[in-house]
């Protein structure tokens, strides 16, 4: 019984160290979906329609650092610059 409790406590600790909860995973999924929408935009008018969704997705992930969210935000920023660049 003690071994089982030890194994379970190690498993729980490992899960908490990874830092990704189901809510955080869902928020990352939403941010990834918004990234796809923004990257599909070819002009500022299109992007303006997606910005409220972007703000909502970023707010959901703003509570703690997340390297995956940082990577997605960098890609979003690159797409925004491309869409706003003079043609």
Residues 69 and 61 sit within 8 Å (Cβ to Cβ): yes
Is the pTM higher than 0.85? The answer reads: no
Q: Assess if residue 8 is contained within a domain.
A: no
Q: Assess if residue 6 is contained within a domain.
A: no
Per the prediction, the chain carries an average pLDDT of: 80
Q: Assess if residue 15 is contained within a domain.
A: no
Name all contacts of 2-7 with Cβ < 8 Å and 24+ positions apart: none
Q: Assess if residue 5 is contained within a domain.
A: no
Strand intervals (E) in the chain: none
pLDDT tens by residue, 35-59 = 999 999 998 899 899 999 999 999 9
Q: Assess if residue 64 is contained within a domain.
A: yes
Q: 3-42 b/e with 16+ CB inside 10 Å = b?
A: eeeeeeeeeeeeeeeeeeeeebeebbebbbebbebbbebe
Q: How many domains does the chain have?
A: 1
Q: How many of the other CB atoms lie within 10 Å of CB of 44? A: 11
State which residues form the domain around 58. Answer: 22-84
Q: Assess if residue 10 is contained within a domain.
A: no
Q: Assess if residue 12 is contained within a domain.
A: no
Q: Assess if residue 75 is contained within a domain.
A: yes
């Amino acid at each position: 019984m003690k071994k089982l409790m030890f194994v379970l406590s190690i498993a729980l600790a490992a899960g908490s160290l990874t830092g990704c909860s189901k809510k955080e995973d869902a928020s990352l999924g939403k941010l990834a979906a918004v990234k796809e929408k923004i990257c599909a935009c070819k002009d500022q008018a299109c992007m303006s329609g997606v910005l409220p969704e972007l703000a909502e997705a970023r707010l959901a992930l703003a509570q703690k650092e997340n390297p995956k969210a940082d990577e997605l935000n960098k890609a979003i920023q690159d797409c925004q610059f491309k869409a706003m660049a003079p043609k």
